[in-house]
Chains A and B, each alone.
Chain A
Amino acid sequence: MSEPILEVSGLTKQFGGLRAVHLDLTIDAGELRCLIGPNGAGKSTFFRILSGGMRPDAGTVRFRGRDITGWDAFRVARLGMSIKFQVASVLEELSVFENLHVAAEFRFGNRGGRRRAAEMLEVIGLTERADHPATWLSHGEKQWLEVGMASVGEPTLVLLDEPTAGMTVEEVKKTVRLLRRLNETATVIVVEHDMNFIRMIARRVTVMHQGEVFAEGSMEEIERNEGVRDIYLGKGAHYAVRR
Chain B
Amino acid sequence: MRRGSSAELLSALVLLLPLLAVPWAFKPYTANVLAVYMIYGLLAMSLGLIWGAAGIMSFGQTAFFGIGAYAYGAIGLNLINRTQQTHAALLGGLAAAALLAAIVGYFMFYGRISDVYASIITMALTLVLFAFAVSTGGDEWVIGVARLGGFNGMFGQGESSQNIANFQIPPVTLWLPGMTEPFAFKINRESAAGYYLVLGVSVAVYVLTRALVRSRLGRVAVAIRENEARVASLGYDTRFYKFALFTIPVRPRLRGEHGGLRPAGWTREPPRRLRRRRHHRAPHELSRRGRSLRHHSPRRRTLDHLPDGGRPAHRARGAAARPGRGPGGRRPRAQGRGHAAALPGPRPSPPLGVVAALARCPRLFRPPGRLPAG
Contacts and interface: CB of A to CB of B under 8 A. Distances in A.
A93 B332 CA distance: 12
B297 A132 contact: no
A82 B300 CA distance: 27
A137 B374 CA distance: 7
Contacts of A97: 299
Given A90-B227, A94-B222, A51 B300 contact: no
Interface in A87-137: 89-95, 97-98, 101-103, 105-107, 110, 129, 131-133, 136-137
B216 A105 contact: yes
Contacts of A61: none
Given A95-B297, A95-B299, A102 B234 contact: yes
A239 interface: no
B223 interface: yes
A194 interface: no
Interface in A184-243: none
A85 B334 CA distance: 22
Interface stretch (B116-124, B145-153, B167-175, B235-243): B235-243
A73 B223 contact: no
Contacts of B301: 131
Interface string B347-374: 0000000000000000000000000101
B299 A74 contact: no
Contacts, number: 88
Contact of A107 (B235, B237, B300): B235
Interface residues of A, number: 35
A169 B359 CA distance: 45
A78 B235 CA distance: 5
B339 interface: no
A38 interface: no
Contacts of A72: 232, 237
A150 B236 CA distance: 13
B235 A131 contact: no
Interface in B141-184: none
A74 B220 contact: no
Contacts of B303: 93, 133
B233 A91 contact: no
B212 interface: no
B230 A95 contact: no
B235 A51 contact: no
Interface in B228-261: 229-238
B2 to A, nearest CB: 11
Nearest to A97: B299
B139 interface: no
A93 B295 CA distance: 8
A90 B238 CA distance: 16
A85 B303 CA distance: 27
Nearest to B295: A93
Interface in A126-165: 129, 131-133, 136-137, 149, 153
A33 B222 CA distance: 34
A132 B373 CA distance: 10
B118 to A, nearest CB: 19
A53 interface: yes
A133 B300 contact: yes
Contact of A94 (B226, B334, B374): B226
A91 B299 contact: no
A105 B299 CA distance: 16
A23 interface: no
B314 interface: no
A93 B293 CA distance: 13
B210 interface: no
Interface in B287-302: 294-295, 297, 299-301
Nearest to A94: B297
A91 B374 CA distance: 17
Contacts of A78: 235
A98 B230 CA distance: 14
A131 B227 contact: no
A95 B301 CA distance: 10
Given A85-B230, A98-B297, A102-B223, 5 more contacts: A89-B227, A90-B230, A93-B294, A102-B219, A110-B216
Interface of A: 51-53, 72-74, 77-78, 82-83, 85, 89-95, 97-98, 101-103, 105-107, 110, 129, 131-133, 136-137, 149, 153
Sorted nearest first, the 8 A-B pairs with minimum C-beta distance are A136-B374, A91-B226, A77-B235, A73-B232, A106-B235, A89-B230, A78-B235, A74-B232
19 contacts: A72-B237, A74-B235, A74-B237, A74-B238, A77-B234, A77-B235, A89-B229, A89-B230, A90-B227, A91-B226, A102-B223, A102-B234, A106-B234, A106-B235, A129-B372, A132-B372, A132-B374, A136-B374, A137-B374
